[in-house]
Structure 1
């Protein structure tokens, strides 16, 4: 439901702050640990949750997130169980937006209409489907529209002026700006100005723009938050959760959220 997303950005904007968006892989390392971690994210400062759907061929993901997906699938995680996790989360939290993030195949297999209805029932607010371009997402977009779900698209440094209007058309909630050409977890791109790119995408979409891919540290989050409406961190969180456990990952999230919220947009 897009009202939760819209309200989140409005609340942060009123405070002169960017929103902090955290990615986690659903079901990693197991259902119980993952559910407890998901439930703890808002109290750690997370404004919007990206809940990853494990997939066998994650072409946009680096090794850290790819391995998290392997662990999640080995633990029995499915698209249905990801939605069950969202349902459980909603028992205690009705305000923090949840965006599921993944690839088209599992949704297509379930059926876009069935998925949209199930996502709505689970309290999901939208989805980022990284391998479904605007030319091929009309069926999913139509199914989402019935339930007021946001289909969030990606813009990149290579999205030129001719293609950008097509990318943002039909996008709801926000636009996810990929800060570099590459996979998740790579070094943050130095070429080009994030400030200029965010302004360009924001003007075209008339929506908030969040920046992700390559944001790993509080220092980088603070820098990006000066220009963006939101900052996304994924790989650093997934890596810390796997290597050091939930408490260390939540401690990292708190520092990232504090850094993000400490900057006016």
Structure 2
């Protein structure tokens, strides 16, 4: 029984150690495959057609390969010599055969990484253009017209909110982490202070208020903005990153757990003699 208990303990410990790394690698691999399938492959196919249409000699295809292509693509040509000769001498068929030959390398072979790199460079150029005055103006015009499209206007703003939360530099500024009584007295929630309360409320209530953002689990980019009395909040010794991890994990990853993990993974400095 002790051996079984040790086996179970070691297995769970190994799983807990390896699983984060495995999941991280898996997520990036799936992201690459998604981009490769839905973006890079189409870029490579377009590039192949540009190369084939601009050069009558690329790629070179032998008569035997052309014959195999015609018989596989046009089954009727296999039993009819006249149709076979017509297809073998048809420039459009030869071009299609060269496209298929080129795609073997550029779309399905080692050259498929080219589309991924071109997509990456293209995004950089688009970002540089949108950073300019003209780019910003054109994008605002396009976005203004885009959000007026039926059905799109019900989806696009929410998707933009999510992407802006993760990718833009102008993120919501959180100064510190606090606990507030929400949604009722005696029940506490973790929130981030975003600023002072509204002046009108401060003047009417004759006390200081704070504006806090209360993230929802497991998607912290959505939540509630609440104005609460400063005297009713509890300052927490947590960083914003720890608070977000706490929210995303549903409370599983607490600051103490993260702190112990950080200490375990912290490199040991050599002692000075």
- TM-score of the pair, normalised by structure 2: 0.19
The answer to which structure has the higher helix fraction is 2
Higher-RCO chain (CA-CA 8 Å, sequence separation at least 6): 1
Between Structure 1 and Structure 2, whose CA radius of gyration is higher?
A: 2
